[in-house]
A and B are shown apart, each in its own frame.
Chain A
């Protein structure tokens, strides 16, 4: 489990709604300040789709070359469990450091 793991970042980016690949990377850049490399991004998208955590979504523009993806219910549940686990670890670590978790 890592906060900057490519698959976790992609799921976080899709939590707001369906996006296509380029927009997923733009959302990740807003979240962590840098984009994923194309090899990492599309490797993560492929694996998440294979695990049925994301699925193709209907495109609003039928002429668009790029096809958006969205979280599946299972993907939403897995992301929530993963983020809760990260938050628990982060809070415990910050308490040990004597820092008040925000």
Chain B
């Protein structure tokens, strides 16, 4: 497999199935000078799942819902990680209310964008089986770490440098669980029903608002003692609003486009 073909394989499967042969020929003709543009194109496609080749508008909404779920989980993850590293919402101006407001917006967005399970016994059993298979390892790892932290050995680890490894494992387990939850929803197919367009747009707007509010608040706290956590966390949360905003724009364009750009 040539380098160009390897890069083409980084595109989403739906894109490769439609354009893979054309793209591989184009890459062979263009040579390595086209690689940076191709890498930018790959990142662009992963950030815009709503525009991937699809059989129906429902399939586009399903993909937007999975992206929204990933944004919601990543926003919660980055916010909690920054807080654990010392960043504090409460030291920002108006910080007492921004924390609860962010949580409310995040939960509202999650409730609006989450696909609903279809009330079909066989489909639900298949979905449950997939979820158990994918989430078993990260959930077991997380439970094991909690049990370890409450044991005598946990006290010894907490007093040594091994605590950093334990913390890294904990956050890695949470990240893997979030990724597997998104994969489970993405592969659910007919077992789940995508949210309707209005509901999806409202959910994406709520998630974007949560990211801007939380990110802006953390960025405002950076002079107050934990600049690295506040800056990295705040910037990460604000950046996470990008895919949510892009999905909102893509949904509008693919539902009723009357212009090129």
Chain A contact residues, CB within 8 Å of chain B: 1-2, 5, 7-8, 11, 20-22, 25, 35, 37-43, 45-53, 65-67, 78-79, 81-82
In-complex Cβ contact of A51 among B38, B52, B257 (8 A): B257
Q: A37-B38, A42-B22, A43-B45 are in contact. Are A78 and B258 (CB under 8 A)?
A: yes
Considering the chains assembled together, what is the distance between the CA atoms of A42 and B258 in angstroms?
Answer: 21
* Closest residue of B by beta carbon distance from A23: B22
Instruction: Report chain A residues within 8 Å CB of B19.
Output: 21, 42, 45-46
Nearest-neighbour CB distance to chain B for A24, whole angstroms, equals 9
Chain B facing A: main interface SS: helix
Q: Are B25 and A22 in contact (CB under 8 A)?
A: yes
List A contacts of B30 (CB < 8 A).
35, 37-38
The answer for the CA separation of A43 and B250 in the assembled complex, in Å, is 13
Cβ of B140: which chain A residues have Cβ within 8 Å of it? none
Inter-chain contacts of B34 with A (CB < 8 A)? 37-39
| Inter-chain contact B42/A39, CB cutoff 8 Å | yes
CB contacts (< 8 Å) of A47 on chain B: these are 51, 253
Per the bound structure, the CA–CA distance linking A52 and B60 in Å amounts to: 13
What is B's interface to A at a CB cutoff of 8 Å?
Answer: 15, 18-19, 21-23, 25-27, 29-30, 34, 37-42, 44-45, 50-54, 60, 250, 253-254, 257-261
The reply to whether B254 and A50 contact each other, CB–CB distance below 8 Å, is yes
**Number of contacts between A and B (CB, 8 Å)?**
99
Given A39-B41, A50-B253, the answer on whether A5 and B261 have CB atoms closer than 8 Å is yes
- State the 7 A-B residue pairs at the shortest beta-carbon distance, nearest first: A39-B41, A37-B37, A21-B22, A51-B257, A65-B21, A50-B51, A39-B37
Contact B261 A1 (CB under 8 A): yes
Given A25-B26, A38-B26, A51-B253, are A8 and B260 neighbors across the interface (CB < 8 Å)? yes
Contact B261 A7 (CB under 8 A): yes
Residue of A nearest to B33 (CB): A37
Pick from A22, A35, A82: contact of B22, CB below 8 A. Answer: A22
Chain B residues whose CB sits within 8 angstroms of the CB of A5 once the complex forms: 260-261
Q: Pick the residue among A2, A43, A49 that contacts B44 (CB under 8 A).
A: A43
Separation of A41 and B45 alpha carbons in the complex (Å): 12
Q: Which residues of chain B are near A39, meaning CB under 8 Å?
A: 34, 37-42, 44
